[in-house]
Structure 1
Amino acid sequence: MSLRPTLETRLAQPTMEGAGVHLHRAFGFHDPSELDPFLLFDDFRNDRPENYYRGFPWHPHRGIETITYVLNGTVDHGDSLGNEGTLSAGDVQWMTAGSGILHQEMPKGNINGQMHGFQLWANLPGSLKMTAPRYQDVQSKEIPVVIDDDGTRVKVIVGEFWGKKGPVDGIAADPQYLDIFVPAGVKKTFKIDTYRRAFAYVFEGAGAFADASAPTGVLLEKEVMGEEVNIRDMSGNRTLIRFGTGDEVTVQAGPEGIRFLLISGAPIQEPVAWHGPIVMNTQAELQQAMRELRNGTFIKPAH
């Protein structure tokens, strides 16, 4: 077994998207190889309705998959396939845009005006970029939750973990998407297949992730799995942790516990031509998509 080194920790940055939604972006529109197959991750958390109610009106997607996970409030959605509905707390929507889809998402807060959710973009390989669009809407009650003896709780949204399988399937990136809570003071190790790229996103509490290397400025050392390894201090809220290669991630929860998403997927390792919500392999394919948007042929007829 080998511990994954912590390559980087950084705070998500405030930005604005859609028709004026205030959110925090952990990564996106920078280096698409950094967390391949994942392209973008947004945290849309707000308790001021004026900062999110205008939402994300009709917009196109091609060549990617979008994963929306709601923690608080609701999101009304619809698309050009005729799907429509409402995501509530704990629900997940996984949309395979494929050859092209028009989509809208309109967040609404809970009774107190609070709204919280995440959106992740996963790339599609060139062989699937023009596949037929597909849509999966999963209710919270369908998502398995595993609780360990020490109180660690894992919600298995996608992939297999601790003997449970998430309800979302058939995803090109072969991802694992886990919502994890580790209680105060507990140290926990999680296994991840070596071939996957992996990151964590901390959104509640605080803790520290073990690091197999010995970078300058590390303040603490902890005993992990019988070996001395470095532990990096970490503030917690809205923090992205990017891991290197290995098959284990270890976290030491702080005094209030720590809750984070642990996400991994198989890298695609293909060229990326990217403009907004359209991601192709070449500039020619990207230009073709933009022409189709202009002339009204972007949505492909069903076969």
Structure 2
Amino acid sequence: MSFRPILETRTAQPTLEGAGVKLHRAFGFQDPTELDPFLLFDDFRNEHPKDFEKGFPWHPHRGIETITYVLSGTVDHGDSLGNNGTLGAGDVQWMTAGSGILHQEMPHGNASGQMHGFQLWGNLPSAQKMCAPRYQDVRGTDIPEVIDDDGTRVKIIVGQFWGQVGPVEGIAADPQYLDIFVPAGRKKTFRIDTYRRAFAYIFEGAGAFVDASAPQGVLLEKEIKGQELNIRDMSGDRTLVRFGTGDEITVQAGPEGLRFLLISGAPIDEPVAWHGPIVMNTREQLRQAVKDLNNGTFIKAAH
């Protein structure tokens, strides 16, 4: 077994998106190879409806998948194929845009006016860029949760973990998407397939991840499976932790516990041509997508 080194920690940055929604972006619109197959990750969290109620009006997507996970409040959605519905607290929507879709997402606060959710963009391989669009709407009650003896809780949104399988299926990058809570002061190790790119995103409490490459730092434990490993200082809310290669991560929760997303996926390793919500392999394909938008042929017949 080998612990993954920490390549980088960064704080999500304030960003305006949609019709003026205030959110925090952990990564996106930079180097697409950095976390391949993932392209973008947004944390949309606010207690003031005026900062999010105008939402994300009609906009196109092609060549990607968008994954929306709602923690509080609701998101109304509709699309050019006639689908519509509402995501509530705990619900997940995995949308495969494929050959093209126009949709809108309109967030609403809960009874206290609070709204919190995440959106992750996953790339599609060239062979699936022009597949038929589809949705997988998953209710929070259908997402398995495993509780370990020490109080650690893991919700398995997609992938296999601790003997459970998440409800989202048939995703190109074969990802693993976990929502993890580690109780105060606890140390926990989690397995990740060696061949996947992986990151953690902290959104409650604080904690420290073992860094197999750090020569200095606070010693987490004199010996972990025969290796001396160090951890960096505690990281808190809205921190992204990007890992290198290995098959395990270990985290020490702070005095208030730690809740984070642990996301990994198999890299696609293909050229990326990216323009806003459209991600293809070549500039010519991007030009064709814009041409399709302009001449009304962006939405393809069912195939």
TM-score range relative to shorter protein: over 0.9
Report the counterpart of residue 278 of structure 1 in structure 2.
278
Report the counterpart of residue 78 of structure 1 in structure 2.
78
- The equivalences for 1:168-179 within 5 A come to 168-179=168-179
User: Take 2:226 and 2:54, find their aligned partners in 1: how far apart are those partners?
Assistant: 52
Deviation, 1:242, is 0.1
- The equivalences for 1:62-77 within 5 A come to 62-77=62-77
Q: Which amino acid aligns with 1:220?
A: V
Q: Which amino acid aligns with 1:260?
A: F
User: Take 1:188 and 1:250, find their aligned partners in 2: how far apart are those partners?
Assistant: 6
User: Take 1:214 and 1:21, find their aligned partners in 2: how far apart are those partners?
Assistant: 38
Report the counterpart of residue 38 of structure 1 in structure 2.
38
- The equivalences for 1:115-264 within 5 A come to 115-215=115-215, 218-223=216-221, 224-264=224-264
User: Take 2:31 and 2:214, find their aligned partners in 1: how far apart are those partners?
Assistant: 26
Q: Structure 1, residues 185-242: CA drift from partner, whole Å, max 9, x if none?
A: 1000000000100000000000000011124xx4301223343201011331000000
Q: Is the 8 A contact 2:159 2:177 kept in 1?
A: yes
Report the counterpart of residue 94 of structure 2 in structure 1.
94
TM-score (normalised: structure 2): 0.98
User: Take 1:5 and 1:98, find their aligned partners in 2: how far apart are those partners?
Assistant: 34
Deviation, 1:119, is 0.1
Q: Which amino acid aligns with 1:77?
A: H
User: Take 2:148 and 2:236, find their aligned partners in 1: how far apart are those partners?
Assistant: 22
Q: Which amino acid aligns with 1:238?
A: R
Report the counterpart of residue 288 of structure 1 in structure 2.
288
Report the counterpart of residue 18 of structure 2 in structure 1.
18
1:297 aligns with 2:300: no
TM-score (normalised: structure 1): 0.98
User: Take 2:79 and 2:154, find their aligned partners in 1: how far apart are those partners?
Assistant: 31
Structure 1 stretches (4+) deviating beyond 4 angstroms?
A: none
* Count of matched residue pairs: 301
Deviation, 1:165, is 0.3
Deviation, 1:82, is 1.4
SS in 2 for 1:209: strand
Report the counterpart of residue 9 of structure 2 in structure 1.
9
User: Take 1:59 and 1:145, find their aligned partners in 2: how far apart are those partners?
Assistant: 34
Q: CA RMSD in A?
A: 0.7
Q: Which amino acid aligns with 2:258?
A: I
SS in 2 for 1:285: helix
Report the counterpart of residue 108 of structure 1 in structure 2.
108
Q: Percent identity between the aligned chains?
A: 79
Q: Is the 8 A contact 2:138 2:168 kept in 1?
A: yes
Deviation, 1:123, is 0.1
Structure 1, gaps ≥5 residues long: none
Q: Which amino acid aligns with 1:297?
A: T
SS in 2 for 1:174: coil
SS in 2 for 1:262: strand
Q: Is the 8 A contact 2:72 2:109 kept in 1?
A: yes
